[in-house]
Copies of this chain bind each other. A is one copy, B any other.
Amino acid sequence: MVSTIDRKSELIHALEDIGCRVTGPRVEIIQEISTLEGSFTAEDINTRLPALGRATIFRTIKLLQDTQKLCKTVLFDGTVRYSLDTGFHHHHLICVKCGDIKEMRSMELERVLRVAAKKIPDQVVGHSLEIYRICSNCS
């Protein structure tokens, strides 16, 4: 299990690595993201950090996506949510009630997807798979 502190410094270092300054607002946003267990929306951060400008929140989220540490997911209804990213290829378990997103990996699924890709005449460049569920909090 990764601690909040570890996640926080990992994200801060990731920003530094792409040449960003470590500023107060950015640290505050990273703090919130690290504390949140599941996925979140830009609005979630805005609500928790009302002193920050929305633009800063969107800009920081974008930077974190650039570091590959944050993953953007557009849900079936068009809602945009973000979740921490391990950096490995993975799929999402999405709760249809609260929108929470968890990562999921399965070698078996990947294998079948590779086989399926071979049957497609065009060049396959990737895939995304979302499994919809009702999470334990919501059921």
Contacts and interface: CB of A to CB of B under 8 A. Distances in A.
17 contacts: A74-B74, A78-B80, A93-B120, A95-B122, A96-B126, A104-B120, A108-B115, A109-B116, A112-B112, A120-B131, A121-B136, A122-B133, A125-B133, A125-B134, A126-B131, A129-B129, A129-B130
Contacts of A116: 106, 108-109, 131
* Tier of interface size on chain A: 35 or more
A93 B122 CA distance: 10
Copies in the complex: 2
Interface in A21-61: none
Central interface residue in A75, A106, A135, by most chain B CB within 10 Å: A106
